Amino acid sequence: MQSYLLEELHRNGVTLLINALADEAPISQQKVAASSVANNIISVVRSAQFDGVSIEFSDFQAVAQGTASAWLQ
């Protein structure tokens, strides 16, 4: 992100977040570790100079099956 744009947002009281895991993709069903996902998100936040991340874990199938918490650990 252009630093002048981020500075302008901050001057106007705007916090810039990236939204992660908000789609319908069942991330916990894929063969990827939660720590890898977290590290990738952190990398994007830092490189793009976002102020933070909003994580929306929407894997309803994993929640219903009781496997979501195991994936997050």
The pLDDT confidence band at residue 1, using thresholds 50, 70 and 90, is: low
Query: Which token pair is 57?
Result: 């874990």
Predicted TM-score of the model (pTM): 0.69
Please give the pLDDT value at position 57: 73
pLDDT score of 4 more than 70:
yes
**Tally of CB atoms within 10 A around 65:** 12
pLDDT digits (tens, 9 = 90+) for 9-54: 999 999 999 888 766 566 666 777 878 888 999 999 999 889 999 9
Domain ranges of the chain: 3-72
Which residue in the block uniquely carries the two structure tokens 């979501």? 68
pLDDT value of residue 60: 74
- Alpha carbons within 13 angstroms on the beta-carbon side of residue 45 total 17
